[in-house]
Amino acid sequence: MLEFSNVSKSFWTGTQRKVILDNASFRVELGTSLGILAPNGTGKTTLINMMAGLEKPDEGRIIRGCNISFPLGFMGGTSPRHTGKENARYIARLYSLDPDYIEAFCRWLVNIDEYFDMPMATYSSGMNSRFNFALMLALEFDMYLIDEGMPGSTDVEFNKKAGDLLQERIDLTTIVIVSHQPETLEQFATQAYLCCSSRGLTRMVRLHAPRCKQGGYTLLLRIGQQIL
């Protein structure tokens, strides 16, 4: 499980203090899929980085009682000077996993042909996103952290394979998705919170809508924005 207990987080922008969370408390149990609906500017990336342990709260406690992934989109563990193959095998060794399996899985899912054996500095932003997504799914975690859903790609085959794998993870493990798009939460989340700013403060409000009920989270977002 993952629990935020009275967590506060803010940072100085140069002109004012930006509050990300103010005394927020919530809990994610294993076996559930949590979506956090956060409009742009409310600190989505900071929030998910705190879940992963990449950033510390100013106040309060974050309790991690399971094996939590790095956020999708976080490339801090890879080196642009090394190839996709080298990065995949290096990360596998860090997690004490079979390098041959991790390499083969990433090569199959990313499907970028000879680029997999070239330095990642030569990759486009889309290729980098696809590699990071494949690497995250290749590793086994109890809870997966995803910022803004699946990486954007025009590759139909990748979208199909990645979407099927993500659905398997939802069925077997726990997913936390932070997004500003209600449709993303409708597709993957079984419960949701609204992260919304009001008068300089950011609050977490629980949304109640059944999974995959068309327009449910969209309507609740609009209601929540009006209330806050």
Q: For 157-183, what is each residue's pLDDT tens digit? A: 888 888 888 778 778 888 888 888 777
- Reduced to 3 states (helix: H, G, I; strand: E, B; else coil), residue 177 is strand
Task: With CA atoms as reference, report the closest residue to 53 among 66, 37, 70.
Answer: 70
Residue 204 — very low, low, confident or very high, per pLDDT cuts 50/70/90? low
Q: Give dist(CA 202, CA 188) in Å, integer.
A: 24
Q: What's the one-letter identity of residue 146?
A: I
For 55-64, 128-137, 218-227, which range has the lowest pLDDT when averaged over its residues? 218-227
Mean pLDDT of 87-100: 92
Q: What's the one-letter identity of residue 114?
A: E
Q: Give dist(CA 227, CA 220) in Å, integer.
A: 10
Residue 212 has pLDDT above 50, yes or no: no
Task: With CA atoms as reference, report the closest residue to 9 among 60, 67, 74, 73.
Answer: 60
Residue 197 has pLDDT above 70, yes or no: no
Q: What's the one-letter identity of residue 227?
A: I
Which residues neighbour 58 within 8 Å (Cβ) at sequence distance 6 or greater?
8, 9, 10
Q: What angle do the packed helices 99-110 and 125-138 form, to 10 degrees?
A: 140
Spatial strand order in the sheet of 17-28? 17-28, 2-12, 59-64
Q: Give dist(CA 106, CA 133) in Å, integer.
A: 9
For 53-67, 82-96, 182-196, 200-214, which range has the lowest pLDDT when averaged over its residues? 200-214
In this structure, what DSSP letter does residue 151 have? P
Task: With CA atoms as reference, report the closest residue to 137 among 114, 168, 160.
Answer: 168
Q: Give dist(CA 58, CA 86) in Å, integer.
A: 37
Mean pLDDT of 95-100: 92
Q: What is the mean pLDDT of the chain?
A: 80
Residue 139 — very low, low, confident or very high, per pLDDT cuts 50/70/90? confident
